[in-house]
Chains A and B, each alone.
Chain A
Amino acid sequence: NAGVTQTPKFRVLKTGQSMTLLCAQDMNHEYMYWYRQDPGMGLRLIHYSVGEGTTAKGEVPDGYNVSRLKKQNFLLGLESAAPSQTSVYFCASSLPTGGSLYEQFFGPGTRLTVL
């Protein structure tokens, strides 16, 4: 099993450009998440999905859109990149267990720089 994979690993954008980050998991997990990690701020949840075709906003959703067309994939889009979106982006997945969230499995991250 590959677990959680992310593409690309690195990307440099100019302000105003758009891009899509792809996350894929082969563990048949229902839940998937996108986080951003900035120095000294831990991980902040951008968007998440509790199943195919459903998405929900996290703590810092502005400037991002997501789609979950297939259970194994979760896409994060930046329509018009801004320097404030320079960060490391992590995707994660987990099984649902009742109403509470359990162990999350993380991808290796995508380092995005917006100039």
Chain B
Amino acid sequence: SQQGEEDPQALSIQEGENATMNCSYKTSINNLQWYRQNSGRGLVHLILIRSNEREKHSGRLRVTLDTSKKSSSLLITASRAADTASYFCATDGLSTSGTYKYIFGTGTRLKVLA
């Protein structure tokens, strides 16, 4: 299964509410990143948190990382209709050949209702 798995798979909220998405992973990491994907488009990088960091902020985004639980959460505050998208976590890790690679989760589909 995927290294990163997001929870919930889908989330529907009203504009102005906060949205929280979670990501779990299986192996040790150097960093964890969150990406956003609008329907039919490529992914866009949102924020990176290193393994020695516990929390990071960027505008309305807040990311936490708990390496002991191998999990991360993405909080979007005061959501807007334009935040409607799929959100993916990505972790770096070692492939079986010993080289670094990215592993993406399956994503959370967020819908913000106006």
Contacts and interface: CB of A to CB of B under 8 A. Distances in A.
Nearest to A101: B92
B114 to A, nearest CB: 26
Interface in B1-52: 2, 4, 30-31, 33, 40-45, 48
Nearest to B105: A42
Contacts, number: 63
Interface in A42-74: 42-45, 48, 50, 56-59
- Chain B: interface residue count, which band? 20 to 34
Interface in A18-48: 33, 35, 40-45, 48
A46 to B, nearest CB: 11
A42 B2 contact: yes
Interface residues of A, number: 28
Interface of B: 2, 4, 30-31, 33, 40-45, 48, 88, 90, 92, 95, 97, 99-107
